[in-house]
Structure 1
Amino acid sequence: MKDTFKHKGMRQQLVNTLRKKGIKDVKVLDAIGRVPRHLFMDSGFIDHAYVDKAFPIAADQTISQPYTVAFQTELLNVKAGDKILEVGTGSGYQCAVLLELGAKVYSIERQQELFKKASKFLPKIGYRAKKLIFGDGYKGLPEVAPFQGIIVTAGAPFVPKPLLSQLAIGGRLVIPVGDNVQVMTLFIRKGEKEFEKHEFGEFRFVPLLEDKN
């Protein structure tokens, strides 16, 4: 599969849609304008690739809605060279957006099928994360911490303590918290034990699963 002028045009329309929906960070919009989202989906869904909707992928998971990806990424406030932990690699689309922003990305996925697919697929289209890990996202990645940013791409019933403890001072954790409906939540680490918390309305995510392997 290729990335054609037609796809690039569709991506620009998607970027315009996201701008109208309130995404302001130009770097985030540019990154979404560069990532060929259609390559992350089954070929039967190509027509839907640049519609602002979530779509099913393998293992009962979804590729997130572009607006959600943009919203979370904007909250993360990524700077080039930042060390970012992504919990829930999924299709690899969010990971690609972070890499376009110049982040050093470590990504954890607990579904074997998705992990294998993303591990092969991302490098094939030119996206190289620092490391893709098959494991339990609730535990984070203490051996690589601290992180300037941690992004959780599935609904968490609670905020895992290890993730907060693995943030650098000034680091940001973006996590959707809740059971059926999630509230997008941002934690900014202000000190050893001090966190600032902000909430940004309701979203719907597939659940963040604990280690069941």
Structure 2
Amino acid sequence: MDENVLDGFNVTIPHKESIIPYLSALDESAQAIGAVNCVAGELGYNTDWIGFLKAMAGNGVEITGKNCLIIGAGGAARAVGYALVQAKAKSIIFENRTKSRADQLIAWINKLYPENEPGEKPDIMINCTPLGMWPETEATPTDIEDNIEIGILADTIYNPLETEWLQRGRAEGAKIVRGMDMFIAQGLASADIWFGENISKKIDLEPIKKVLKSELC
């Protein structure tokens, strides 16, 4: 970092945690989540959680008072969990193939959010695993047929634009939120940090979506 000539840059997997020792300080969200995806100077930030909240709001999804299930136990799951805390979800639970990792995140979220009331049927399910990502596009994190009563499905995957999991959910009548919306929103939140002002409100998202769609399709 001492030789870095950039004013700011984004960080992606697998470096979101390994970069932390090279930074001078972290903002509150990056400290809580334990991962950095945005660097400004020598300071680390996490805008993934902001991107998730903006994506949900942009699709008309209300999180406050809802029961939420997060599939996965990595950095994306922690960012989404943090976002749900900020939005005051009623309950936040984690599921993962390795139960011990899910249990660790449940303990983390309960410490962060003592108001958490796990146990009820989820209203919102969020995929924070790579299952369904290109090129393994037929993989799904859950069987939709087992979750047809869940009204809202959100995915953090943005390639493909609409995963098999989301397609099946939509066919069963669920409202879906695509990962591309989160991807764009976290990038704009990073730009706000770099420029020191809310420039994201001045940006037309449609050309951005059009270019990304053409590149990924």
Kindly indicate whether structure 1 or structure 2 has the higher relative contact order, using CA contacts under 8 Å at least 6 residues apart. 2
TM-score under structure 2 length normalisation: 0.45
Q: Rg: which structure is higher? A: 2
TM-score under structure 1 length normalisation: 0.46
Structure number with higher strand proportion = 1
